[in-house]
């Protein structure tokens, strides 16, 4: 079974600084997606960034980028120029590439609570 | 912008009572998921639908939980009877059945408190 591990329950960053959130996963599949989702307090979960396993290039979305190390099964999120609005729970998630059956499910890590200090 | 709708946002009930949550996915999304999220933890799958069919309900406590998606559109998750340990956020998510993005879209959730 696939697992996702986030080893940092809480992180803190100064406004305008850079922070990296860690995630490791375990799978025997070769085709899959990895995601970082953001969940602000009392708000819905929204997608931050997505990485397809078959793509070697690391995904980037504005201030958010990932370091995808497929062999090491590592998928970290870097937030540059942190803003107060970045404060939230961040979840790393895995989804198998075969959408048939239960492999379409998202498997989440336990999350990292990010605080941004002004 | 299309969103996943959930209701109620908050529900307080006493143990042994019945509760129900409703989810309306984004139009056209074939897959629908119910997740349970305990405070401070990541969501865990309860049940997954493909159209009106259950794809995976292996983690659904079937002695007290039931879920349906009769016409392959909206869905209801029911708990009867509710127990103290059921206090959690219940999230609904939907997604298209294709490989374009792999993304799931989430509703705001239904927070259940069992007293």
Encode pLDDT of B33-42 as tens digits: 999 999 889 9
Where are the domains positioned within chain B?
A: 5-97
Distance between A92 CA and the closest CA of chain B, angstroms: 9
| Mean model confidence pLDDT for chain B | 93
Please state the rounded mean pLDDT for residues B77-90.
97
Q: Which of A1, A75, A62, A6 is nearest to A34 (CA)?
A: A75
Look at the domain B5-97 and name its fold: Immunoglobulin-like (2.60.40)
Indicate yes or no: CB of B93 within 8 angstroms of CB of A106: yes
Please state the rounded mean pLDDT for residues B47-51.
93
Q: Which residues of B touch A110 (CB under 8 A)?
A: 40-42
B25: contact with A, CB 8 A cutoff: no
Strand partners, B23: B6, B75
Of A95, A101, A108, the CB nearest to B55: A101
**How far apart, in whole angstroms, are the C-alpha atoms of residue B96 and residue B28?**
7
Domains, in order of start, for chain A: 3-117 (2.60.40.10)
């Amino acid at each position: 079974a696939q697992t996702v591990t986030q080893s940092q329950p809480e992180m803190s960053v100064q406004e305008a600084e850079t922070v990296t959130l860690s995630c490791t996963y375990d799978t025997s599949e070769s085709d899959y997606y990895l995601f970082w989702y953001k969940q602000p307090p009392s708000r819905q979960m929204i997608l931050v960034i997505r990485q397809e396993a078959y793509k070697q290039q690391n995904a980037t979305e504005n201030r958010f980028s990932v370091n995808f190390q497929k062999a090491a099964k590592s998928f970290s999120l870097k937030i540059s120029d942190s803003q107060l609005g970045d404060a939230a729970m961040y979840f790393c998630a895995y989804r198998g590439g075969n959408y048939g059956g239960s492999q379409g499910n998202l498997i989440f890590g336990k999350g990292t609570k990010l605080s941004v200090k002004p | 912008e299309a969103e996943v709708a959930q209701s109620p946002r908050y529900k307080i009930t006493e143990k042994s009572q019945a509760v129900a949550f409703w989810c309306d996915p984004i139009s056209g999304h074939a897959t629908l998921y119910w997740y349970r999220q305990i405070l401070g933890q990541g969501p865990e799958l309860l049940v997954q639908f493909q159209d009106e069919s259950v794809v995976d309900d292996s983690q659904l406590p079937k002695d007290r939980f039931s879920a349906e998606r009769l016409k392959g559109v909206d869905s209801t998750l029911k708990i009867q009877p509710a127990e103290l340990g059921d206090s959690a956020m219940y999230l609904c998510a939907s997604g298209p059945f294709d490989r374009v993005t792999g993304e799931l879209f989430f509703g705001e959730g239904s927070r259940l408190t069992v007293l």
